[in-house]
Amino acid sequence: MSTLKAVRGTRDLLPPETELWNRVEETARRVFARYHFGEIRTPIFEDTSLFARGVGEETDIVSKEMYTWEDRARAQSEKAQSLTLRPENTAGVVRAYIEHKLGDKGLLQKLFYIGPQFRRERPQKGRYRQFWQIGAEVIGPPSSGSESPLRDAEVLEMLASFLNELGIRDWKLTLNSVGSASDRPRYIEALREALKENAPGMCVDCQRRAETNPLRVLDCKVPEDQPIIETLPKIAEYLDDDSKARFAAVCAALDACAVSYEVNPRLVRGLDYYTRTTFEFSHGELGAQNALVGGGRYDGLSEAIGGSKAPGIGFAIGEDRLILTLQAQAEAVAEGSADAYVAPLGEAMNAAALELARYLRQAGLRIELGDGGFRLKKSFEMGNKLARKIVLFGEDEQKSGILTVKDFATGEQVKVAREELVHHLRAKGDAPPQGRL
């Protein structure tokens, strides 16, 4: 008799790796609570029509990837119900929002979830048929302010804080607007027209999408198709004044709170319900499939599945990929990062900072020395790339002998007396490599 193994595309999570998973989820709960999010837990299977109506019948998820079955009728008079393991959770959260009449409160609903999703796709590194997501949705009636571009910026700023607090280094945020319900038909028609000539020279998936879901062509990752994609019309050319103003307001709010981003006019999401702002956080440790977080605004989803108007915005974090990134970074930290980056605050502090670096190096620590000519933001960026911790050294610190130290892995910032600094920097923090806490 052959030995039974986990089904292809699934896996067991064992100690000590589960300790890292717990830390990630605890960090999510802690950060999201600061933004007044509450947890929602929906069933792992739903009526199939929820995804057909909400996600879109022509999407790859609904047409090719869902696990669907007919539930046997309990009585002869009953019709068997088609059920599907959830391939994503936004539609389920919005279904719960409608079913439990959360909109009747007239308040903005901020909901987060943590749990497994299911898609029948080709398993590869960081991608499984049962995979885990951490996600959140902000939804409510228009009177609650749910349509405001400020909601988009707040969600993005929260995600940046979450990744920073976890110690994810060098993440990249890309943004785009896919327009309103009135913008998109004009753009899709222009895209479909352009693809009539170009699609025959593209991959098989793009040839099919050119007819069924032209927006998904922009998300193609086949290298040979990229020159053709670059010639296609851009959504920005088809946005009305309101959509342009809303997207500009999102960008301005991110600028105000110093969240860095890039605008990518080719960024789309693979689900039909997205409107206006779409976004993606990515990381180079993951190779070609480098997305950590994806999301966007879905102002018409509630109406599409039978509810009243309830604009919303949300995201899903691929927890499997997030764990891979943390493990890769932990290994890099163990192999090559300095113990600390000493950042002089102003050029007048350079000489004293050199003396501090010398003192720490003589104690056996690996130290990188910054420059007082750097702005504080650049010092943090350099320190994050080169060291586990950063030591801020200005006139106040020199006079008091109390230094400010930030741990990049945990996000913790503390005051440390100079005589305790060596001991503090030798501590490796709460996130050593290989998934241990």
**CATH code at position 367:** 3.40.50.800
What's the mean pLDDT when you consider all of the chain?
A: 87
Residue 393 domain-assigned? yes
Residue 436 has pLDDT above 50, yes or no: no
Of 272, 299, 328, the residue at which a domain comes to its end is 328
| Higher pLDDT, residue 24 or 188 | 24
Q: Are residues 274 and 380 in the same domain?
A: no
Which amino acid is it at 122? R
Separation between Cα atoms, residue 252 and residue 278, nearest integer Å: 16
Q: Are residues 49 and 129 in the same domain?
A: yes
Residue 187 domain-assigned? no
Give which of 331, 306, 317 is closest to 163, Cα–Cα.
317
Of 22-31, 120-129, 256-265, 340-349, least confident by mean pLDDT is 120-129
Give me the torsion for CA of 23, 25, 27, 30, rounded to 10°.
-140
Q: Are residues 56 and 134 in the same domain?
A: yes
- pLDDT category of residue 332 using cuts at 50, 70 and 90: low
In sequence order, what are the beta bridge partners of 390?
Answer: 341, 406
List, for residues 271-312, the tens digit of each pLDDT value. Answer: 667 889 999 999 876 655 678 999 999 988 999 889 999 999
List, for residues 233-268, the tens digit of each pLDDT value. Answer: 888 888 989 999 999 999 999 999 889 999 988 887
List, for residues 71-103, the tens digit of each pLDDT value. Answer: 876 666 678 889 999 999 999 999 999 999 999
Q: Computed from CA positions of residues 315, 320, 321, 327, in that sequence, does the dihedral angle turn out positive or negative?
A: positive
List, for residues 376-401, the tens digit of each pLDDT value. Answer: 999 999 898 888 899 999 999 999 99
Angle at 168 between CA 166 and CA 360, to 5 degrees: 90
Residue 32 domain-assigned? yes
Once rounded to an integer, what is the mean pLDDT over residues 213-242?
85
Question: DSSP assignment, residue 54?
Answer: I
- pLDDT category of residue 431 using cuts at 50, 70 and 90: very low
Separation between Cα atoms, residue 40 and residue 23, nearest integer Å: 19
Domain count, the chain: 2
pTM above 0.75, yes or no: no
**CATH code at position 247:** 3.30.930.10
Q: Are residues 343 and 421 in the same domain?
A: yes
Residue 258 domain-assigned? yes
Q: Are residues 281 and 356 in the same domain?
A: no
Residue 342 domain-assigned? yes
Q: Are residues 350 and 379 in the same domain?
A: yes
Residue 334 has pLDDT above 70, yes or no: no
Residue 417 has pLDDT above 70, yes or no: yes
List, for residues 55-68, the tens digit of each pLDDT value. Answer: 766 566 776 789 99
Provide the domain limits for residue 406: 338-426
Which segments within 154-274 are labelled E, that is strand?
172-177, 262-263
Separation between Cα atoms, residue 133 and residue 89, nearest integer Å: 9
List, for residues 128-141, the tens digit of each pLDDT value. Answer: 899 999 999 999 99
Residue 362 domain-assigned? yes
- pLDDT category of residue 178 using cuts at 50, 70 and 90: confident
Residue 394 domain-assigned? yes
Q: Are residues 386 and 406 in the same domain?
A: yes
By the 10 Å C-beta count (0-12 exposed, 13-18 middle, 19+ buried), 243 is classed as buried
Beta-carbon contacts of residue 81 (< 8 Å; ≥ 6 apart): 47, 70, 71, 73
Q: Are residues 320 and 348 in the same domain?
A: no
Q: Are residues 36 and 80 in the same domain?
A: yes
Of 328, 358, 392, the residue at which a domain comes to its end is 328
Beta-strand pair 312-318/275-282 = unpaired
Once rounded to an integer, what is the mean pLDDT over residues 198-214?
84
Q: Are residues 316 and 406 in the same domain?
A: no
Q: With residue 402 as reference, give the H or E element that holds it.
A: strand 402-407
What is the reported pLDDT for 432?
33
Residue 87 domain-assigned? yes
- pLDDT category of residue 430 using cuts at 50, 70 and 90: very low
Q: Are residues 108 and 134 in the same domain?
A: yes
Of 13-17, 174-178, 272-276, least confident by mean pLDDT is 272-276
Beta-carbon contacts of residue 47 (< 8 Å; ≥ 6 apart): 81, 82, 83, 84
Of 328, 363, 380, the residue at which a domain comes to its end is 328
Q: Are residues 283 and 420 in the same domain?
A: no
Once rounded to an integer, what is the mean pLDDT over residues 5-21?
91
